[in-house]
Amino acid sequence: MDVKIYIPHPALQEYVLNISTVNVLLPEGIKDVVTPYPPTPFQSLIFYCNQPISMNRIGNPRFEEQPLAVVIGPQVSRVNIKVHSQLSAIRVDFLPGGMYRMLGIPMHELFDGGFDASLFFGAEMSRLNEQLRHTSNLEEGKGIVEKFLLNKATCLKQTLPFDSAMQILLNNNGNVTIDKIASLSCLSLKQFERKCKERIGMNPKTYARILKFSKAYRLHEAFPQLSWTKIAYEAGYYDQMHMIKDFKAFAGVNPSVIEEQLTYTPIRMQKDLQY
């Protein structure tokens, strides 16, 4: 699995965190691989330059092939991803509030879902998908996606103190008090909670929990030799029981079970995520 992460064009940095390219080539003789994908803190835009992945949720055994371009709203539920032979994809992760500023749609309307990007961008997205399917390499595709985002940067919704305050919460993996972030947003706690629902898609405590959980899960993918006690400490949990509670909520299983599930797949989809 080859992942390259790019710092976005300076004109994009007020709403885009990073752009990454992902290339997965399964070993010869292996038709497809299923890997867990718990929620991350990001709202994202994902482009598949060849065959899209298929996806299912816990409790639903049927895998559904995804569109060529997918808008990923705020997530709280784990999915399972099936990669077919080879995956070539470009992923855009937005800063907190960034997708709201681009789409102008309250993020709670996209809660825990993935949507065909053509529903939001129409024929423009169809043309972009066609370009990406004919690119010679992913770096060229990254440039095409960046040009698309630069065009969108000219009509973003206004930035607020809330947006920079949420970046502080992001950068600290959720380990800042909600009262402090509300104060930095220049909002009362109730105003802050309403703004979170609009721009992030969920209440701030849930978002902070996902930040902390995601840190723990990514640490395990990247450093499987670390003990869960060490991971809980590094992610900022008070104790291991709080981490186990979050794993059950967001991964659907406790840490030892997902550790076992990862032994059945060579793919680690989140170890390279950065923020």
- 217-257: pLDDT as tens digits: 999 999 999 999 999 999 999 999 999 999 999 999 999 99
- For position 228, what pLDDT does the model report? 98
- For position 275, what pLDDT does the model report? 77
Asked, for residue 195, whether it belongs to a domain, the answer is no
- For position 136, what pLDDT does the model report? 86
- The DSSP letter of residue 27 is P
In degrees, rounded to 5, the angle at the alpha carbon of residue 70 between the alpha carbons of residues 67 and 74 is 140
Going by DSSP bridges, is the β-strand pair 69-72/16-25 parallel, antiparallel, or unpaired? unpaired
28: pLDDT confidence band, cut at 50, 70 and 90?
A: confident
Question: Considering only CA atoms, which of 79, 109, 77, 74 is closest in space to residue 66?
Answer: 79
- 104-130: pLDDT as tens digits: 999 999 999 999 999 999 999 999 999
29: pLDDT confidence band, cut at 50, 70 and 90?
A: confident
Residue with tokens 């699995």: 1
- 150-177: pLDDT as tens digits: 999 999 999 999 999 999 999 999 999 9
- Least reliable range by pLDDT among 28-32, 37-41, 251-255: 28-32
Coil, helix or strand at residue 217 = helix
Cβ pair 176, 82 in contact under 8 A: no
Asked, for residue 49, whether it belongs to a domain, the answer is yes
Handedness of CA 16, 97, 231, 257 (dihedral sign): negative
Coil, helix or strand at residue 16 = strand
Asked, for residue 237, whether it belongs to a domain, the answer is no
Asked, for residue 238, whether it belongs to a domain, the answer is no
Quote the domain boundaries for residue 122: 2-155
Asked, for residue 163, whether it belongs to a domain, the answer is no
Count structural domains, the chain. Answer: 1
CATH number of the domain that residue 130 is part of? 2.60.120.10
Asked, for residue 20, whether it belongs to a domain, the answer is yes
User: Cα separation of 204 and 197, whole Å?
Assistant: 8
User: Cα separation of 128 and 176, whole Å?
Assistant: 39
- For position 59, what pLDDT does the model report? 86
Coil, helix or strand at residue 135 = coil
Task: Give me the chain's average pLDDT, please.
Answer: 96
Region 250-274: mean pLDDT is: 94
- 129-142: pLDDT as tens digits: 999 999 989 999 99
Asked, for residue 216, whether it belongs to a domain, the answer is no
- 185-229: pLDDT as tens digits: 999 999 999 999 999 999 999 999 999 999 999 999 999 999 999
52: pLDDT confidence band, cut at 50, 70 and 90?
A: very high
Asked, for residue 147, whether it belongs to a domain, the answer is yes
- 56-106: pLDDT as tens digits: 998 888 999 999 999 999 999 999 999 998 999 999 999 999 999 999 999
